[in-house]
Amino acid sequence: MILSVSRRTDIPNYYCDWFFNRIKEGYLYVRNPMNAHQISKINLSPEVVDCIVFWTKNPEPMLERLDELKDYVFYFQFTLTGYGGDVEPHVPHKKARMLPVFRRLSEKIGKERVIWRYDPILFTERYSQGYHLKAFGQIAEALRGFTEQCVISFVDLYAKNRAGMKALHPFFPEERELLKFAGELARMAGENGMKVATCAEALDLSSCGIGHHSCMDQALIERLTGCRIRGAKDKNQRKECGCMESVEVGTYNTCKNGCVYCYANGSPEAVARSCQMYDVNAPLLCGKITGDDQITERRVKSLRERCIK
């Protein structure tokens, strides 16, 4: 089983105490967002968890506790962009805080286990192509030697982010402009020892030397585990997504980063209501179990086949 921690919220930043408690207890609960009364119990034993993939904009709260994951294989998807507080209002200062945190994390676990995400890319009057190229180049230079992979994507509009995005007055360049722009990103990344790939993008950037990335990356997981992994494509993700199937442990409407482009939060009010239910010792993240809930143990197993280590 591959554990996603999490596409729905920033667990390393806001809920790592809860997650470490769940690791100690050996299980957690996840509510089905499509069926409010259906809860799955997930076994967290190292015997069935092949890899944990963390998604975060700030893993600093975890840095001194990584030894608690010594029995697990894991890596981080670390989003680090050039946006200011108008787009990412609760993310700490990038140059003063987040770049040093990225480097510290890489030094602790290895550069192959920290993926730099410069995404999603949105274009506005302030965040022009020139702005992004300058910001990307500065970050890439600062992260030279601390990561091998950079992932990019272009912003998508969803019902949950449409109002906030509209206030920024975004524009969408023509394909030929995007190709030129992407080529510059690839060049700068290459100069700093990184490869660039896209996340769930229909646009073909192979002419720029940019391939498609899988966040749940079978090749990387096999490299880290030393084992062949038998995994199918995740049928619950978009057609363009190349991720292998995983078990998601997060809860919608709980991320406090407040990013304008976020698809996981309905409103600040919904986040506030959810966060009031946070209990660091509860098996369910930001939720309470009621008499109408049905808890079922999910059948999970290791996906490892032949190991070469």
The type of residue at 231 is: G
What's the burial of 219, exposed, middle or buried (CB within 10 Å: 0-12/13-18/19+)? exposed
- Residue 160 CA to residue 269 CA, distance in Å, equals 13
Compute the Cα dihedral for 171, 184, 240, 174 and give only its sign: positive
Domain count, the chain: 1
- Residue 167 CA to residue 284 CA, distance in Å, equals 35
Specify whether the CB–CB gap between 182 and 199 falls below 8 A: no
Residue ranges making up the domain that contains 66:
2-307
The residue behind tokens 């998508």 is 156
How would you write the pLDDT of the chain (309 residues) with one tens digit per residue?
999 999 999 999 999 999 999 999 999 999 999 998 999 999 999 999 999 999 999 999 999 999 999 999 999 999 999 999 999 999 999 999 999 999 999 999 999 999 999 999 999 999 999 999 999 999 999 999 999 999 999 987 776 777 778 888 899 899 999 999 999 999 999 999 999 999 878 888 999 999 888 888 999 999 999 999 998 777 776 666 778 899 999 999 999 999 999 989 989 999 999 999 999 999 999 999 999 999 999 999 999 997 765
C-alpha triplet 235, 54, 106: angle, nearest 5°? 135
